Amino acid sequence: MRYTKASNKLNLKIIIPIFAATLIGTIWMLLSKNNIGEIGLTDNYQAKQIIWHDETKYKGISISVNTTKDQFNEGRSTILVVTPVTQNKTINKTLRQLSQKFIDEFYKEAKKQESSYKKYVAETNLEAATFITNYVQHFDVSFVSEDYIAFIFNQHTNTGGSGNDSISSRIFHRASGKEIYLSDFFSNDTYLSTLSEISRTKLHKKYPQENNIFIEDGTTPKQENFDSVVLTQKGLLISFDKYQVAPGSEGIVKILIPFKDLSEFLLPKIKELFQ
């Protein structure tokens, strides 16, 4: 078979773009596989899309960010979960479990909401905008020292209406990856009474007398009343749920307790962190 110069040029015009597209696609797949494989989220996360962001310096330490996204049911079900990835595998495992619990809850709720939506449409032949499932999780680094790191997580859920927000925190020893709990900071087990007393004093100054019932009930020294305590560089940031210490119109109520107000109750090794 004989080839002319014209046919050679034509073949090259066809072959080169195909080869280039194949090469780019192969490189992209390999890079994606390596990135996801490094953090091992493929099997653990149910979401359809996993986006890997380059490692960045976050408040003096290296933190990578993993973003999990999904959208289905014609846009009625959406999720966005942002999870930090550190250089410590033990810390990463705990943080993945936190995000996975939120993701599992989303898919369960989305299935329930979509079932209700289809039933409503079948019975009324009307469209309804309230059958939605929107979940969002973001994080921030609230405290960093040579030995410890603390993350704050904000989880927003909306299944119709105004939605709900919850705040939680995780504290870790950076070298070992061991999770540190609030009780580990105090010299005795009466720390809840200490937080209760200080919180009440600050809240009574912040809100008028008619809110006293909210404050007294919402600051009783019980673990569930102080499950949103965040370690920051300035002190302990306590978040109280909607209706917990004030009328619902106030939303989530936050107060900061400086370390100087807690100094006499802290363990010596913890005091050194804030001096």
The pLDDT of residue 58: 60
The pLDDT of residue 28: 39
At residue 33 the predicted structure's pLDDT band, cuts being 50, 70 and 90, is very low
pLDDT, one tens digit per residue, over 156-210 is 999 987 788 889 999 999 999 999 998 898 988 889 999 999 999 999 988 876 6
Closest by CA position to 146, among listed 65, 228, 59: 59
Per CATH, 49-180 and 182-274 having the same topology is answered no
- For the chain, the domains span 1-39, 49-180, 182-274
At residue 128 the predicted structure's pLDDT band, cuts being 50, 70 and 90, is confident
Looking at the DSSP bridge assignments, the partners of residue 240 are 253
**Domain 49-180 grouped into CATH 3.30.565.40:** yes
Strands 56-58 and 49-52: unpaired
Superfamily of domain 182-274: Heat-shock cognate protein, ATPase (3.90.640.20)
pLDDT, one tens digit per residue, over 61-98 is 788 889 999 999 999 999 999 999 999 999 999 999 99
